[in-house]
């Protein structure tokens, strides 16, 4: 069994789709350490040849995994090299779909007739909103948010908030529950009138301590007793104000985001965003 494997995600578009699929597959092998790298927007033969040359030089005969989502057949064939494990997520599937539908696919990179300029504009707006309302910034504009995440420091608020904006098209904000609110078991006044949009993130004390220890080793902030107390206080705030609780422990960002949408009764995908 391999202890580690290099993984490359190669696409003629953003690479989000091929990366998500590859990671969904490789996560089924937790005993193997996967070292990942992405190459998006590969649309010429010259670029493809340079990349495969780099991959083979790094691999030293260890047969890295290469996941690709490329429409151009000539470019795809460059990566179908005997020195790599080649996974083409479009090739056979698209061929079979053409047979089933009795017509030819466009085979145009990044094309989606579901994504128009208006949707892209909303997506960009959601991303900007998320970045401008991270970590308790501009709370006076929270009435514009679709989702507001609460949680103690390092509970995973920011990455989940960014995923909700970039991948699902939601205006997401997040607010840190510091000792000022934890010790009083209170919400800030700016959040009290919009509790239906609030979701409380929690995690295990052990995981929170581990995350904090990496940033501030040996600190009181990272001690398990501190983490346990803060989590208990945060969860009590959630219960007092009827805020749904989602645990991030042992879950992917996608799983957490999907659960958040369910508890606040939002569709899993606000926009149809196909990479």
Q: Are strands 172-176 and 33-39 parallel, antiparallel or unpaired?
A: unpaired
**Structure confidence at residue 269 as a pLDDT band (50, 70, 90):** low
* pLDDT above 90 for 244: yes
Alpha helices in the chain (DSSP H): 16-26, 45-59, 73-79, 91-101, 117-132, 157-166, 179-182, 205-215, 224-240, 253-263
For the stretch 112-159, pLDDT in tens is 444 455 566 787 899 899 999 999 999 999 999 999 999 999 999 999
Task: Provide the CATH number for the domain formed by 117-263 in this structure.
Answer: 3.40.50
| Cα 202 → chain centroid | 18
- DSSP code string of 131-170: HHTGGGTTGGGGGG-SEEEEESTTSSHHHHHHHHHHTT--
**What is the average per-residue pLDDT within 8-36?**
87
Higher pLDDT, 208 or 119: 208
What would be the CATH architecture of the domain defined by 4-101? 3-Layer(aba) Sandwich (3.40)
Q: Domain residues of the chain, as ranges?
A: 4-101, 117-263
**Per-residue confidence (pLDDT) for residue 272, from 0 to 100:** 41
- Interhelix angle 157-166/117-132, rounded to 10 degrees, is 160
DSSP readout, 31-57?
A: TSEEEEEEE----SHHHHHHHHHHHHH
> CA-CA distances (angstroms) from residue 210 to 198, 213, 214, 223, 228?
26, 5, 7, 9, 12
* Assigned token pair, 139: 């709370």
User: pTM value?
Assistant: 0.61
Fold match flag (4-101 vs 117-263)? yes
Measured distance CA(217)–CA(183) in Å, rounded: 24
pLDDT in tens, 55-101: 999 988 899 999 998 888 899 899 999 999 999 887 767 777 778 78
């Amino acid at each position: 069994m391999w202890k580690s494997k290099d993984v490359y995600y190669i696409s003629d578009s953003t690479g989000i789709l091929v990366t998500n699929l590859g990671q969904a597959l490789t996560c089924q092998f937790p005993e193997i350490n996967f070292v990942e790298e992405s190459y998006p927007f590969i649309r010429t033969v010259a670029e493809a040849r340079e990349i495969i040359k780099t991959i083979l030089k790094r691999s030293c005969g260890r047969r890295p995994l290469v996941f690709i989502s490329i429409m151009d057949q000539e470019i795809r064939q460059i990566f179908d090299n005997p020195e790599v494990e080649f996974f083409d997520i479009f090739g056979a599937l698209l061929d079979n779909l053409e047979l089933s539908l009795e017509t030819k696919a466009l085979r145009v990179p990044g094309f989606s007739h579901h994504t128009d300029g208006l949707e892209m504009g909303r997506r960009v707006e959601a991303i900007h909103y998320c970045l401008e309302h991270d970590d308790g910034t501009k709370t006076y504009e929270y009435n514009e948010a679709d989702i507001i995440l609460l949680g103690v420091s390092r509970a995973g608020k920011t990455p989940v908030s960014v995923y909700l904006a970039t991948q699902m098209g939601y205006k997401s904000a997040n607010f840190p529950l510091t000792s000022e609110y934890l010790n009083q078991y209170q919400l800030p006044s700016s959040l009290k009138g919009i509790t239906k949009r609030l979701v409380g993130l929690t995690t295990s004390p052990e995981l929170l301590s581990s995350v904090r220890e990496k940033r501030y080793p040996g600190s009181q902030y990272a001690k398990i007793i501190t983490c346990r107390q803060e989590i208990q206080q945060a969860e009590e705030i959630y219960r007092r104000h009827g805020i749904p609780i989602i645990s991030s422990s042992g879950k992917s960002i996608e799983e957490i985001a999907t659960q958040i949408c369910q508890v606040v009764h939002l569709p899993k995908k606000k926009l149809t965003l196909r990479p």
